[in-house]
């Protein structure tokens, strides 16, 4: 009991079933503002994205520790100031049409979520060794930046999510797992999570029911097969995070 766990699921869960992974999935350069156009066109009402800190503690979006895969920069993001990061091209690697797309700040993403009326799952993705400060600064900023609807914070990092809880306890939290560890319930209780986020390949009808019976919502990532998305929805999975905004829509998940 306590911490909102082991209680009946609240009926006023505010988030939609479908969540666009890294904002635009595979249809736009990941973790950029360009993905919002895809969400608008395909009727997506929620985005997931990865937030971390520059060397001078600006919060911005990037999945990897290093810049090389998704920008024209090189090396660890944590060793670059925001001024250096802001000049990088974060779109051309994906397609020449997206040349000059920039790494967005958390503030820019919040403004776009508000103007497009899109809900947010902020995945706190700390650079190595920066878990506590990233969790704390992202949570404090998110509390200020999102006004209409609270963003759902999540992280694979226990330390980051604990810092987020301490800095902004009113923001909902989801613990991210790959496979479910034996002590998943203890972890989500300690962090007072409202949801558990897991790799869909490790979810079964039985463990989805167990998690929801414990009073937690379930997010499954990254589900790119419509048949699997329909199956997870039937099991009661609350949020399906996908790259395939083009083939997984409301008609698939009900």
Task: Point out which residues bind ligand G3P (CB under 6 A).
Answer: 21, 48, 50, 63, 123, 154, 176, 197, 221, 241
Q: Which is nearer to ligand G3P, 99 or 150 (CB)?
A: 150
Which of 142, 241 has the CB closer to ligand G3P?
A: 241
* 202 given a catalytic annotation: no
- Contact between 243 and Mg ion by CB under 5 A: the answer reads no
Determine the interface stretch with Mg ion among 35-43, 48-56, 165-173, 224-232 (rule: CB under 5 A).
48-56
Nearer CB in complex with ligand G3P: 146/221:
221
Q: What is the secondary structure of the chain as a DSSP string?
A: --TT-SSPPPTT--S-SEEETTTTTTSS-TTSTHHHHHHHHHT--EEEEEEEE-TT--EEE-SSSBSTTTSS--SBGGGS-HHHHHTS-SSTTT-GGGTT--PPBHHHHHHHHHHHT-EEEEEE-PPTT-HHHHHHHHHHHHHHH--SSPPEEEES-HHHHHHHHHH-TTS-EEEEESSPPTTHHHHHHHTT-SEEEEEGGG--HHHHHHHHHTT-EEEEE----HHHHHHHHHHT-SEEEES-TTT--HHHH-
* Cβ at position 83, least distance to ligand G3P in Å: 26
Measured from the CB of residue 180, what is the shortest distance to ligand G3P in angstroms? Answer: 15
Partner whose binding site includes residue 165, from Mg ion, ligand G3P, none (CB under 5 to 8 Å by kind): none
User: Any catalytic annotation for residue 63?
Assistant: yes
**Binding site partner of 197, from Mg ion, ligand G3P, none, Cβ cut-off 5-8 A by kind:** ligand G3P
Q: Smaller CB distance to ligand G3P: residue 99 or 159?
A: 159
Least gap, CB of 49 to Mg ion (angstroms): 7
Residue whose C-beta lies closest to ligand G3P: 221
Binds Mg ion by CB under 5 A, chosen from 30, 101, 123, 243: 123
Tell me whether residue 8 or residue 21 sits nearer to ligand G3P (CB atom): 21
50 binds Mg ion (CB under 5 A): yes
Closest separation in Å from C-beta 123 to Mg ion: 4
CA nearest neighbour of 220 among 236, 199, 251: 199
Instruction: List, by residue number, the catalytic residues.
Output: 21, 63
């Amino acid at each position: 009991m306590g911490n909102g766990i082991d209680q009946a699921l609240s009926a006023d869960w505010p988030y939609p079933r479908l969540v666009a992974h890294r904002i635009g999935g595979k249809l736009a350069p990941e973790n950029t503002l360009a993905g919002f156009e895809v969400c608008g066109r395909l009727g997506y009402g929620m985005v997931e994205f990865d937030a971390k800190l520059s060397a001078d503690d600006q919060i911005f979006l990037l999945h990897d520790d290093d810049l090389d895969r998704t920008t024209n920069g090189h090396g660890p993001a944590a060793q670059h100031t925001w001024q250096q990061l802001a000049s990088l091209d974060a779109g051309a690697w994906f397609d020449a049409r997206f040349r000059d797309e920039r790494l967005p700040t958390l503030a820019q993403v919040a403004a776009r979520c508000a103007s497009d009326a899109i809900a947010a799952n902020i995945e706190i993705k700390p650079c190595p060794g920066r878990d506590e400060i990233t969790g704390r600064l992202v949570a404090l900023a998110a509390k200020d930046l999102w006004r209409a609807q609270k963003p759902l914070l999540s992280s694979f990092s226990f330390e980051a999510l604990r810092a987020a809880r301490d800095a902004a306890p009113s923001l909902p939290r989801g613990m991210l797992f790959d496979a479910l560890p034996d002590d998943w319930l203890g972890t989500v209780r300690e962090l007072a999570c409202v949801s558990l986020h897991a790799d869909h390949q490790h979810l079964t009808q039985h463990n989805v029911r167990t998690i929801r019976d414990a009073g937690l919502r379930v997010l499954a990532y990254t589900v790119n097969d419509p048949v699997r998305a329909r199956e997870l929805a039937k099991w009661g999975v609350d949020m399906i995070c996908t790259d395939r905004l083009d083939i997984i829509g409301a008609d698939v998940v009900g």
